[in-house]
Amino acid sequence: MMAMETVRCGLLAALLALGALCGAQPVKFKDCGSAAGKIIIVDITPCPSLPCVLRKGQSYAVNVTFSSKTSSQTSLAAVHGIVSGIPIPFNIPNDDGCKSGIQCPIRNNQNYHYINSLPVKMEYPSIKLVVEWELKDENDKDIFCWRIPVQISS
């Protein structure tokens, strides 16, 4: 009986540890002008703490849960690295928000999950910067805009 209880406790501990490893941790972000929406959660995987350490040659999953304050037929993402106040465009695999987890048209007062990835190219310099991620509606207004500090490293 005692051995069975030990096995159960060990199994429970292993499952809890696995859940903690798999559980996404939202990152603390700065809202930079979400006029047409409200950000609920920003999750970057893996990014256990700030600044996010982004390794060259890897890709990072980005998931933003937001509430729309507008209706829009389209949505377009723009990502920049801000170095010394200068925005430098980052390429993302798909800048069309309607093909990134959002079913368009976007409706007012509904929640959405925007899903994309941020590839970190080998040729990027090892540098500290701020990543700014915007999703714009059909009138070029920010549905969401957030910033986080990152460190690109080898």
Q: What is the pLDDT of residues 90-109, one digit of tens each?
A: 989 999 999 999 999 999 99
Note the CATH architecture for domain 25-153. Answer: Sandwich (2.60)
pLDDT score of 19: 34
Bridge partners (DSSP) listed for residue 111: 67
Check: CB of residue 26 under 8 Å from CB of residue 146. no
The per-residue pLDDT for 24 is 58
Q: What are phi and psi of 20, to 5 degrees?
A: -65, -40
Residue 41 pLDDT > 60? yes
Cα–Cα dist 64/42, whole Å: 5
User: If you average pLDDT over residues 23-36, what whole number do you get?
Assistant: 87
Mean pLDDT of the chain: 87
- Asked whether the predicted pLDDT for residue 12 surpasses 70, the reply is no
Q: Is the pLDDT of residue 21 over 90?
A: no
Extract long-range pairs of 48-54: CB within 8 Å, 24+ residues apart. Answer: 50/148, 50/149, 51/128, 51/148, 51/149, 51/150, 51/151, 52/27, 52/131, 52/148, 52/149, 52/150, 52/151, 53/150, 53/151, 53/153, 54/118, 54/120, 54/150, 54/151, 54/152, 54/153
Q: What is the DSSP letter of 108?
A: T
Residue 3 predicted with pLDDT over 50: no
Q: Are 30 and 144 in contact (CB under 8 A)?
A: no
Prediction pTM value = 0.82
